């Protein structure tokens, strides 16, 4: 999925938001929703990275504190022709990692203590190359906006259900408004997941190019996937809207929940990386 399609999906989320605004308050409600969406995106652009890092109690580290890990990130940033990002460590036994920041000049990468303990240096390099690929592709901003809009759609849907489309300007009527308020959050979640899944495939491919060894990342993904299913991430469970930011899904769940996963199937991700290595 290219950037043009991602842009279309973001436009679809915005359209859903505006339709719900119209259902709540007619033409005036649509304008209010538009202003509200713009405000939330503006806030996300400037503050989302700080909120995410604070939510996971990430601690900034220096070269002197973690010379090997810091050196890995530094060399990968050079490989990717990126500014050196801020480096954080999250005290969490589940091996995982994420990147955040509105652009490469204001980026941060974070790894859990579980990841640093369980993976070999080459595998750590594969993981952090994946995160730097997100930074280089500006996925951190794209997925943050998607998450913000999806969350806002869910919130305004609750208002629409409560007021029941009472505006005379509302073309949907009472039952149409109720149906829209129930279906819109589901549709928003599916669009958000489509965006997240597509960017994970791209980050895997570009991360493999940055570190130069697709099998390093493939090996790391296998280990992370197995461990994440066994070791809980309580902070992520409390902030499920941030699950899409991690390299592997930090949440526990299966069955029908897997249909709504923010990450592609791990077997497919590993298979693509192995195909890259063979090529």
Q: How far apart are CA 106 and CA 46, in angstroms?
A: 10
Kindly give, in sequence order, each residue whose CB lies less than 8 Å from that of residue 279, ignoring residues fewer than 6 positions away. none
> Which member of 68, 74, 123, 131 is catalytic?
131
Kindly give, in sequence order, each residue whose CB lies less than 8 Å from that of residue 77, ignoring residues fewer than 6 positions away. 83, 84, 85, 132
Cα dist from 190 to 83, 121, 181, 259, 269, whole Å: 33, 36, 15, 9, 20
Residues across the chain: 279
74 in catalytic set: no
Question: CA triplet 206, 212, 214: central angle to 5 degrees?
Answer: 70
Q: How far apart are CA 245 and CA 60, in angstroms?
A: 18
Using alpha carbons, select from 148, 66, 78 the residue that is nearest to residue 112: 66
Q: How far apart are CA 109 and CA 102, in angstroms?
A: 12
Question: Which residues are known to be catalytic?
Answer: 131
């Amino acid at each position: 999925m290219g950037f043009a399609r991602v842009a279309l999906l973001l436009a679809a989320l915005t359209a859903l938001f505006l339709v719900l605004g119209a259902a709540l308050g007619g033409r005036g409600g649509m304008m209010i929703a538009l202003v509200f969406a713009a405000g939330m995106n503006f806030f996300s652009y400037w503050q989302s990275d700080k909120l995410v890092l604070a939510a996971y109690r990430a601690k900034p580290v220096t070269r002197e504190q973690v010379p090997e890990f810091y050196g890995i990130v530094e060399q990968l940033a050079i490989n990717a022709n990126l500014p050196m990002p801020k480096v954080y460590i999250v005290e969490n036994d589940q091996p995982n990692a994420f990147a955040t920041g509105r652009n490469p000049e204001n980026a941060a990468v974070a790894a859990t203590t579980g990841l640093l303990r369980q993976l070999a240096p080459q595998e750590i390099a594969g993981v952090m190359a994946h995160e730097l690929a997100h930074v280089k592709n500006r996925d951190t901003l794209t997925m943050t906006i998607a998450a913000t809009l999806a969350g806002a759609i869910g919130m305004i849907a609750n208002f629409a259900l409560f007021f029941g489309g009472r505006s005379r300007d509302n073309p949907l009527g009472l039952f149409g408004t109720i149906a829209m308020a129930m279906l819109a959050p589901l549709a928003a979640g599916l669009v958000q997941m489509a965006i997240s899944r597509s960017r994970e495939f791209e980050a895997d491919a570009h991360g493999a190019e940055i570190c130069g060894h697709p099998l390093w990342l493939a090996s790391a993904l296998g280990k992370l996937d197995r461990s994440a299913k066994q070791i809980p991430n309580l902070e992520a469970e409390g902030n499920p809207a941030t699950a899409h930011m991690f390299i592997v899904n930090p949440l526990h769940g299966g069955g029908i929940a897997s249909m709504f996963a923010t990450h592609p199937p791990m077997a497919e991700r590993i298979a693509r990386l192995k195909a890259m290595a063979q090529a």
